[in-house]
Amino acid sequence: MVREVLGRYLERDGFAVDLAVDGPDALHQLDKAGADLVVLDLMLPHIDGYEVLRRLRTHSDTPVIMLTARGSQTDRIVGLEVGADDYITKPFSPPEVVARVRAVLRRAPALRSTDETAARGGVRQVGTLSIDQGRRLTSREGRDLGLTRKEFDLLTFLAANTGQTFTRAQLLEQVWDYAWAGDTSTVTVHVRRLREKIEDDPSSPRHLLTVWGVGYRFEP
């Protein structure tokens, strides 16, 4: 079973691991003991990974990495929209999962520190967008745009570096905190979702721009 293999690899790397056999078991363990990070298979029996994530996000911002065998980009987008921080598509290598886990856990303290600093910094106005860094909310004309945590992180980073172009690999390093390993599709999906929320016309964006052959740039 995938969970046993990943569990052994993570334990070998020094992590304390709790395994869940299905969706209800995962929710029970999270309610009872919590976790520093969740590696969540979307194909769980009884209650699937999407529903587990939805319920978790009602009361917790614990980092979540999705595991999915589904090839549809729509499935990945739904998971990210519900609140996952990252995804890995099967087949994958256990060392890759361990590396992602380490990267997300490294990022978590930095996010908490950034949140504390931002809470003192108030609201950043970027064009028509209001970015409340303390409450981690983005609005336009008073309407909350409903960004997920990682969408907010991506927007905040780009808005803080207005006019500067970043490659997908650079965004992986700066926002996700892990080095490029040949797959930058996570960035592509997040950019697409972010455009759908902040742009009047996502097909012709005026804020989050593509620099062809290079990457992305934010303009107010």
Overall average pLDDT of the 194-207 stretch = 93
pLDDT of residue 185: 79
pLDDT-above-90 percentage for the chain = 45
Is 109 within a domain?
no
Q: Are residues 6 and 93 in the same domain?
A: yes
Q: Are residues 91 and 126 in the same domain?
A: no
pLDDT of residue 163: 93
pTM higher than 0.85, yes or no?
Answer: no
Is 58 within a domain?
yes
Is 116 within a domain?
no
pLDDT in tens, 57-105: 888 888 899 888 766 666 777 777 788 888 888 888 899 899 889 888 8
The count of structural domains within the chain is: 2
Q: Are residues 30 and 93 in the same domain?
A: yes
pLDDT in tens, 106-131: 876 555 544 544 444 568 888 788 99
Q: Which domain holds residue 213?
A: 122-218
Is 108 within a domain?
no
- Give the CATH number of the domain where residue 159 resides: 1.10.10.10
Q: Are residues 61 and 26 in the same domain?
A: yes
What single string gives the DSSP state of each residue in the chain?
Answer: -HHHHHHHHHHHTT------SSHHHHHHHHHHH--S-EEEETT-SSS-HHHHHHHHHTT----EEEEE----HHHHHHHHHHT-SEEEESS--HHHHHHHHHHHHHHHHHHHHHHHHHHHH-EEEETTEEEETTTTEEEETTEE----HHHHHHHHHHHHTTT-EEEHHHHIIIII-S---S--HHHHHHHHHHHHHH-SSTTS-SSEEEETTTEEEE--
Average pLDDT for the chain: 85
Q: Are residues 142 and 71 in the same domain?
A: no
